[in-house]
């Protein structure tokens, strides 16, 4: 097994999309409260958006992922979603990127988090996921040997490394533009029960 170092980065808040077809990873409608959220205008949403711009939207900086380690911010985001009856998922992420750091104690991890699996996606922005797009949404014969769990993710690190290597091999031998290219990272994901 590959012994990659994973850092505890924090949380991603994602609006629930019923069209995800069994995929529970990082690609989705993440950090959806922004300056154009007309129906959510308030002092709290202004704080949410400004904080996001200053502290979360940093995936373009080397070694950052668009996660939040500030529980006050997460709870404020949750309050707005509850007031507006917006259904959300909260993901807890570990990646190979070092920042932000969000240390959770073991008791919280065991009582509030349910392990989902591994994803391979952009560190922010659209969070484009190779697992979702290459395994869930498309049927690429050379990748069929990669199995997904009930969350539409890869179950263990060994299988993830196998997927990445096979994807790179297939990418070299197929037409240009068949595969998304970019700075992908491995995510280890949990669903949070707040």
Can you give the pLDDT at residue 1? 43
pLDDT band at 109 (very low <50, low <70, confident <90, very high): low
DSSP the chain: ------EEEEEEEEE--TTSTT--SS-SEES---TT-GGG-SHHHHHHHHHIIIII--TTSTTB-S-B--HHHHHHHHHHHHHTT--EEEEEEEESS-BS-----HHHHHHHEEEEEEEEE-SSTT--BHIIIIIIS---GGGTTS---TTSSB-SHHHHHHHHHHHHHHHHTS-TTSS--S--EEEEEEEE--
Residue with the bigger pLDDT between 176 and 187: it is: 187
Rounded mean pLDDT of 21-36?
85
Lowest mean pLDDT among 10-14, 25-29, 67-71, 141-145: 141-145
For the whole prediction, is pTM greater than 0.85? yes
Rounded mean pLDDT of 132-160?
92
Condensed to tens digits (0 to 9), the pLDDT of residues 60-102 reads 888 999 999 999 999 999 998 998 888 999 999 999 999 999 8
Can you give the pLDDT at residue 17? 75
């Amino acid at each position: 097994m590959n012994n990659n170092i994973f850092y505890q980065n924090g949380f991603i808040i994602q609006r629930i999309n019923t069209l995800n077809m069994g995929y529970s990873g990082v690609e989705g409608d993440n950090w959806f409260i922004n300056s154009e959220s007309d129906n959510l205008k308030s002092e709290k949403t202004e704080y949410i958006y400004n904080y996001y711009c200053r502290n979360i939207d940093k995936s373009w900086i080397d070694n950052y992922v668009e996660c939040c380690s500030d529980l006050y911010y997460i709870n404020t985001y949750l309050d707005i979603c509850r007031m507006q009856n917006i259904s959300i998922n909260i993901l807890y992420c570990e990646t190979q990127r070092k920042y932000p750091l969000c240390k959770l104690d073991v008791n919280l991890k065991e009582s509030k988090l349910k392990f989902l699996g591994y994803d391979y996606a952009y560190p922010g922005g659209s969070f484009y996921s190779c697992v979702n797009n290459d395994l869930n949404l498309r049927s690429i014969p050379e990748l069929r040997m990669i199995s997904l769990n009930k969350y539409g993710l890869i179950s263990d690190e060994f299988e993830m490394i196998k997927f990445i290597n096979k994807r790179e091999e297939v990418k070299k031998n197929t037409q240009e533009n068949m595969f998304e290219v970019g700075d992908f990272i491995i995510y280890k994901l949990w669903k949070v029960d707040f």
